Structure 1
Amino acid sequence: MNMPKYERVASAIREQIQAGALKPGDQIPTTQGLIEQYGVSYGSVRTALLLLKAEGLIEGRQGEGVFVRERDAG
């Protein structure tokens, strides 16, 4: 199974959120941290984060970082 690098990163973060390892309000690692953790390029990390944002799982906060979004009630 050879998925694109960005999808591998997105899947790993998504699984951590679903498993409760990353909870709403938790900050996810920096872009540089993710690059080092997964051994991928800046572009792959950026695409993965955009994908997770589009899914409503994470949100960027200007000057603060990227956080797991609070789940909408209901």
Structure 2
Amino acid sequence: MLCKGTLQQLSLRKNKSIKNIADLSAYNSKLFTLTKEIERLKKTIASCQQFNKKVEMNLLLKELESELNSLQRFT
């Protein structure tokens, strides 16, 4: 079993909720998924022609960015 310090180093954060490799994997997976979704949404917004759709997507983008920031800050 990996020691807690090694898990924290792997996650690049002092994350008290990461207790084992499964938690680390879930945390990194969530970060990766949110980052990819944000990048995809930014590209979609840039290519969108309709103002109302852009507004909706920008609201979603702000929610995703807020979720990502809170995940990175909280953990």
Q: Which has the higher helix share?
A: 2
TM-score (norm 1): 0.29
Q: Which one has a bigger Cα radius of gyration?
A: 2
TM-score by length of structure 2 reads 0.29
Q: Structure 1 or 2: larger strand share?
A: 1
